[in-house]
Structure 1
Amino acid sequence: MNLSQQHYFSVSRKDRAWGLYLTGTGRIIVRPRQPYPPPGHPAGYDFDWKRGRILDEFILLFITAGSGSFESARDGKVQVEAGNLLLVNPGEWHRYRPDISAGWTEYWATFDGEMARLWRKEGLLPATSMLRGCAESVVHLFVDLLAAADHDARSTPFLAGLCHAIVAQAASFKPSHPEFVEDETQRLRDAADFLRRHFGSVNSSSLALSCGMACSTFRRKFRSYFGVSPQRYAREQQVARAKRMLIETSMPIKAIAAELNFSSEFYFMRTFKQIAGLTPGGWRRQSFQAPRNQDN
Structure 2
Amino acid sequence: MLQNYFKYLNFTSFEERWGIYITSVVYSKVGPNDNYPNQEHPQSHHLTWNRGRTLNDYYIVFISKGKGIYGSAVTEPKEVVAGNCFLLFPGVWHRYKPDVKLGWEEHWFGFNGRFIEDLMSQGFFSAEEPIIDLGFNSEMLILYKKLIDLVQLSSVGYPQQIAGIAMQILGMLSNQLRHSELTLDPIGKLISKARFLIQESFENSLDMEQLAKELPMGYSSFRKAFKKITGQSPNQYHLNLRLERAKTLLTMTALNINEVSDHTGFDSVSYFSKLFKKKSGLPPRTYRQLTTGSDAESGA
TM-score (norm 2): 0.56
The residue that corresponds to 1:149 in the other structure is 151
The residue that corresponds to 2:94 in the other structure is 94
Q: What is the distance in 2 between the residues matched to 1:178 and 1:72?
A: 26
Alpha-carbon contact 1:3-1:30 (below 8 Å) kept: no
Larger radius of gyration: 1
Q: Deviations over 1:159-192 (max 9, x none)?
A: 111111111111121179777xxxxxxxxxxxxx
Q: Deviations over 1:93-125 (max 9, x none)?
A: 111110010000010100001111111111122
Unaligned 5+ segments in structure 2 are 183-300
Q: 1:160 to 1:66 in 2, by over 3 A?
A: same
- Residues 161-240 of structure 1: pairs in structure 2 closer than 5 A: 161-174=164-177
Q: What is the distance in 1 between the residues matched to 2:92 and 2:180?
A: 22
Alpha-carbon contact 1:59-1:108 (below 8 Å) kept: yes
Q: 1:77 to 1:176 in 2, by over 3 A?
A: farther
The residue that corresponds to 2:12 in the other structure is 12
Count of residue pairs brought into register by the alignment: 179
Letter in 2 for 1:35: N
Unaligned 5+ segments in structure 1 are 180-296
The residue that corresponds to 1:137 in the other structure is 139
Which consecutive segments of 4 or more residues in structure 1 shift more than 2 A? 124-127, 133-136, 175-179
Alpha-carbon contact 2:25-2:109 (below 8 Å) kept: yes
The residue that corresponds to 1:31 in the other structure is 31
The residue that corresponds to 2:251 in the other structure is none
TM-score (norm 1): 0.57
| Match status 1:111 vs 2:114 | no
What is the Cα-based RMSD across aligned positions, in Å?
A: 2.0
Alpha-carbon contact 1:25-1:110 (below 8 Å) kept: yes
Match of 1:26, SS state, is strand
Q: 1:149 to 1:133 in 2, by over 3 A?
A: same
